[in-house]
Structure 1
């Protein structure tokens, strides 16, 4: 889906922060200043969305997960919806420290959640006292709130997509340590050098976030569809080539030679 500058404009993607709050490293993406606010160059935004989308589609096609991170109020519901639609993990509550750098511990917490679910299915849960059941339920609810959306992420993600890199600086640092590619919406008050794939955009307005995430999710969905098509093609057994018909044996010619 090609990105139209007009639709970005209508969604307010071009509104940056106050000029006094800007990060000079965002200068290449700033079009002008108006009423004390920086205006983002939407032609560059559109180009960067296309670039990021192509890279994300490749990662999705390879079978790796893309972890979405957005804990700010305006972005939480949008990210949960868009990431959920394409079956990608996301963090919209507080970032669990060591989520990436101490992934083994995080996986143990997810397994704990699964073991509680098993207890409820096999009846073990009901053998506990009322107080113990209450404690287990509380633990399960806490784990679900913080880690429920990443329960299917069995290994480190192939990429991170972040809304507001200033707010999610811990997640950014962890991904940098592990050389995980970082894709992000970057506003004029942030340093784009921390990100591998910069999408210069207003990261405060829900309309802007929704518009960018829609394009990103669409690109990832395209990568997933490509992967599915390849899998389906590989699963179809190749038709056996028809066996060549044996050539009829030549009749031996008996030549009667007259003996001299």
Structure 2
């Protein structure tokens, strides 16, 4: 199982919250104190909470589930995209489209349009169009790439959301809540934890912290996938072994029993 230590979090600056004047009282139990008018997050809460979330992710992925990475703020965009792609999971790193979850049928139509434009670009269709038409379609493709490129391979609705900044992604969280999709969220001292199923108290602005969160979740996804592959291999082996066992039994039952005369005792001859 992928785990994160207290030292890892301290080095990444996970314990640095926001200025005390911007705090959210709902986060009071996760605050250790303040220093230079900046709240300090109690990592005694963060470390076990995050490791529990990583374990949940690993188990979910091992069962064939899918997790959607969400991080549209500037500091998170590149990191979220890289880590989601590393573990082959869907992601949203630009603007969250309203209804991306609750109106997925419409989003799916946009995904089909995006794939169609991709195919046209690759099969030479663009070469047969006028420069103006190519420009219009290229712009449309680029726009769709920014908004839905990260979810083009998503198999229906995700089973879980991983959100870097819960205040910045409030719409995504509300949609997930409405559909009963669990949310793992990084919650800073100025944020509202409501609607987050697995609260991870931590710095949501530091690039090092965001990379630690995202990379750790991606690692858990990869471990879960490996376990899933191993389970499939074992099941396949058992099925083959059972099938071979059944075949051997059938052959044994069908094969006639031959006894030579020398094997028959005198008593057996008399009784016959």
Relative to the length of structure 1, the TM-score reads: 0.91
Per-residue deviation, residues 178-221 of structure 1 (Å, max 9, x unmatched): 11101011101112232000111000110111112222222222
Q: Which runs of 5+ in 2 are unaligned?
A: none
CA–CA distance in structure 2, aligned partners of residues 37 and 153 of structure 1? 40
Q: Which runs of 5+ in 1 are unaligned?
A: none
CA–CA distance in structure 2, aligned partners of residues 20 and 137 of structure 1? 46
CA–CA distance in structure 1, aligned partners of residues 232 and 36 of structure 2? 54
- Note the C-alpha offset of 1:247: 5.7
Per-residue deviation, residues 147-176 of structure 1 (Å, max 9, x unmatched): 111110030000111111111111111111
Select 1:238's aligned residue among 240, 252, 257. 240
CA–CA distance in structure 2, aligned partners of residues 173 and 154 of structure 1? 21
**1:12 maps to what in 2?**
13
**2:270 maps to what in 1?**
255
**Greater fraction of residues in helix:** 2
**1:81 maps to what in 2?**
82
Q: Compared with structure 1, are the counterparts of its residues 248 and 207 closer, same or farther at alpha carbon in structure 2 (3 Å cutoff)? A: same
CA–CA distance in structure 1, aligned partners of residues 3 and 128 of structure 2? 58
**2:156 maps to what in 1?**
155
CA contact (8 A) 2:20 2:38 kept: yes
Q: Compared with structure 1, are the counterparts of its residues 246 and 16 closer, same or farther at alpha carbon in structure 2 (3 Å cutoff)? A: farther
CA contact (8 A) 1:49 1:215 kept: no
Identify which range, 248-257 or 60-69, moves more after superposition. 248-257
**2:168 maps to what in 1?**
167
CA contact (8 A) 1:49 1:216 kept: no
Relative to the length of structure 2, the TM-score reads: 0.87
CA–CA distance in structure 1, aligned partners of residues 222 and 169 of structure 2? 25
- Note the C-alpha offset of 1:129: 2.8
- Note the C-alpha offset of 1:248: 4.9
Q: Compared with structure 1, are the counterparts of its residues 212 and 256 closer, same or farther at alpha carbon in structure 2 (3 Å cutoff)? A: closer
CA contact (8 A) 1:16 1:187 kept: yes
**1:129 maps to what in 2?**
130
Matched, 1:141 2:156: no
Q: Compared with structure 1, are the counterparts of its residues 123 and 35 closer, same or farther at alpha carbon in structure 2 (3 Å cutoff)? A: closer
SS at match of 1:193: coil
SS at match of 2:194: helix
Count of equivalent residues = 257
